[in-house]
Amino acid sequence: MISTEMIEPLKQGLFRRIWTASLLSNTGRMIQGVGAGWAMVEMNGTPEQVALVQTALTLPITLFALPAGAIADIYDRRLVILFAIIASLVGSILLSIAVFGGHVGPASLLLFTFLVGSGMALFGPSWQASVGEQVTPALLPSAIALNSVSFNIARSFGPAVGGVIVAWAGVAAAFIAAAVCYLPLIVVMILWKRAREIPRLPPERLVEATIAGLRYVLHSPRIRTPLWRTFSAAFAGTAIAALLPLIARDILHGDSRIFGLLLGAFGVGAVLGGLALASLRAKLSTEAVMRLCSFGVAAMAVVVGSSRSELITSLALAVAGAGWLISVAICNISIQLTAPRWVAGRTLATFQAATAGGIALGGWAWGRAATEIGLSGALYASAALLVAVALILGRWMPMPVVKVEDKEMSAQRKELSARLALTPRSGPIAVEIDYRVAPEKARRFYILVQQLQRSRKRNGARSCSVARDIRDPWIWRERYVCATWLDFLRQRDRPTVKEAQIQQEVAALHEGPGPIRATILLERPIGSVRWKEATPDHGLLPVEPSGVSTP
């Protein structure tokens, strides 16, 4: 059943224009994929080489996703999207020229495909992270699903169009058509007057931002779980997509048009699955939907491996497409509803890396399996692995339940005042916070402060610890360190509403007589400051200190 909630984002003009242009762009990608895949078949490539076409398209996402995500969070996402699309356009044009000149073999085809994939690797995180700027928060899940639907509408019609172009005009014409399809999105991005929020603090450097993104994911179980589920589902379930050219040629004994038809069937199923996603999320838990999709794709892999009928295979691919789209979209929605704005591009980059990594490794593994045990055997093995993944990971790391408000940022804190002359690179900065907690509330305090420390680590702190006074069991001291003064200021600005609530719960357990005492220290290891005894302390500022809020 298709929910009307799914189409609500299309009523917003900006999203509708970008969505339509991205639909054409995705169609171009599908046409290019058909051209590359069939070009490898025409070169009499081995099953492993045919599967590597998909690997060449997706491997750049795995390799470059994290830097691309950092770029999405540091720079204007509109400009990043524009640059990435133009890079992919240039890659498609160069590939078509090389094919026309007859200078493309299996290795060079994979190289050109890798270059085009690199442009898309830069494009993905900025494009996905910008969705939150195009719609209201309440419409974000539907907008995410619609973007997946856009891709799969393109998957439905793009391969068929690509197959016709390849059959009538050759693979070079398919690459030119793909390049033309990028143009509308370039125009829309040029016309988009994006309202960019002026940051309070200087932007992070690329390496620092990449490390911060990895740190956030490492200390966020609600991000890590969807990533592992995405990677495992992509690896186990990509056999159908990776081997589809061979399924069309060797099992169904068809040509490029049959290949396009099968891809189209997969895409049609994905579109229908995307439109039904809201209804499924309303009726079933996230984990139940994930398991249902895994079982469905596994069953259809068995059907595809056994069928010799184009109709039956097409119907099975439609069901598999629905299961594939829903499972990937569920993980995407979970991450986007969890990650705060400051790290949205980087968390989405890790999601893309997990998906692309699973597809890339799976493409190679199932291509190798098809060489060793045959196409049908590889598909049966994929089905068995899908079932095992759903049962084992579903119990070990079930999908988290998230809400739209989970990622909203807390209100800005009060400005800090200091009597030391600090620069952004001053540091390390150590923070010590003393609490007075009744012994009967100690267990509750300790559980909450552990959650608080995970929040601090996600947002930039390190070396977190908590200690209890052995002479006075009422006294607890929390301590954490930030690398620099600027890192400390960023860490204070990043908590979400939910993280701020945890901090308030910890503070509520403090019992007088005085308030919570917070001390912020500039660490100076021995030997780092070389003052003579008579040298004045130039670090002091002639400013009276004001009240400092609890970090």
Residue that is written with structure tokens 């998909």 in the block? 54
Residue 548 above 50 pLDDT? Answer: no
Q: For residue 407, what pLDDT is reported?
A: 59
Residue 126 above 90 pLDDT? Answer: no
Residue that is written with structure tokens 């019609």 in the block? 157
Q: What share of the chain is helix, strand, coil (3-state, %, to 5)?
A: 70, 5, 25
Give CA–CA dist 424/38, Å, rounded. 55
Residue 546 above 50 pLDDT? Answer: no
Q: Which residues on adjacent β-strands are paired with residue 539?
A: none
**Winning range, highest mean pLDDT, from 256-260, 343-347, 505-509:** 505-509
Q: For residue 405, what pLDDT is reported?
A: 57
Inter-residue contact 370 to 437 (CB < 8 Å) = no
Give CA–CA dist 533/551, Å, rounded. 34
Residue 435 above 80 pLDDT? Answer: yes
Residue 138 above 50 pLDDT? Answer: yes
Alpha helices, DSSP H only, in 253-309? 256-275, 277-283, 286-306
Residue that is written with structure tokens 């186990």 in the block? 236
Inter-residue contact 375 to 50 (CB < 8 Å) = no
Residue that is written with structure tokens 């995705």 in the block? 26
Residue range 320-324: mean pLDDT, rounded: 88
Tell me: the pLDDT tens digits for 369-400? 988 898 899 999 999 999 998 899 888 888 88
Copy the structure tokens of residue 140: 């974000």
Residue 169's Cβ-side half-sphere holds a number of Cα atoms within 13 Å equal to: 14
Tell me: the pLDDT tens digits for 487-501? 898 888 888 888 888
% of the chain exceeding 90 in pLDDT: 17
Q: For residue 403, what pLDDT is reported?
A: 67
Q: For residue 543, what pLDDT is reported?
A: 42
**Winning range, highest mean pLDDT, from 155-169, 348-362, 396-410, 437-451:** 437-451
Q: For residue 437, what pLDDT is reported?
A: 94
Q: Which residues on adjacent β-strands are paired with residue 516?
A: none
For 454, which DSSP code? H
Q: For residue 549, what pLDDT is reported?
A: 46
Q: For residue 411, what pLDDT is reported?
A: 55
Q: Residue 184, preceding bond cis, omega within 30 degrees? A: no
Least confident piece of the model among 157-166, 221-230, 239-248, 458-467? 157-166
Taking all residues of the chain, what is their mean pLDDT, rounded to a whole number? Answer: 81
Give CA–CA dist 212/551, Å, rounded. 19
Q: For residue 110, what pLDDT is reported?
A: 81
Helix (H/G/I), strand (E/B), else coil: 537: coil
**Winning range, highest mean pLDDT, from 118-127, 154-163, 357-366, 482-491:** 482-491
- 480 dihedral zone (left: phi>0; alpha: psi -120 to 50; beta): beta
Phi and psi torsions of 177, nearest 5°: -60, -40
188 versus 256: which is more confidently predicted? 188
Cα–Cα distances (Å) from 388 to 216, 371, 381, 385, in that order, read 29, 23, 11, 5
Residue range 29-48: mean pLDDT, rounded: 73
**Winning range, highest mean pLDDT, from 143-152, 247-256, 446-455:** 446-455
Q: For residue 479, what pLDDT is reported?
A: 94
Residue 51 above 60 pLDDT? Answer: yes
Cα–Cα distances (Å) from 79 to 18, 21, 180, 187, in that order, read 14, 16, 20, 12
Residue that is written with structure tokens 């969705």 in the block? 131
% of the chain exceeding 70 in pLDDT: 88
> Taking each helix axis from N to C terminus, what angle separates 47-74 and 77-100, rounded to the nearest 10 degrees?
150
Strands (E), 405-461: 429-436
Tell me: the pLDDT tens digits for 52-98? 776 777 678 777 878 888 888 888 888 888 888 888 888 788 877 87
CA geometry: angle at 409 spanning 407 and 412, to 5°? 170
Q: For residue 551, what pLDDT is reported?
A: 54
Q: For residue 550, what pLDDT is reported?
A: 47
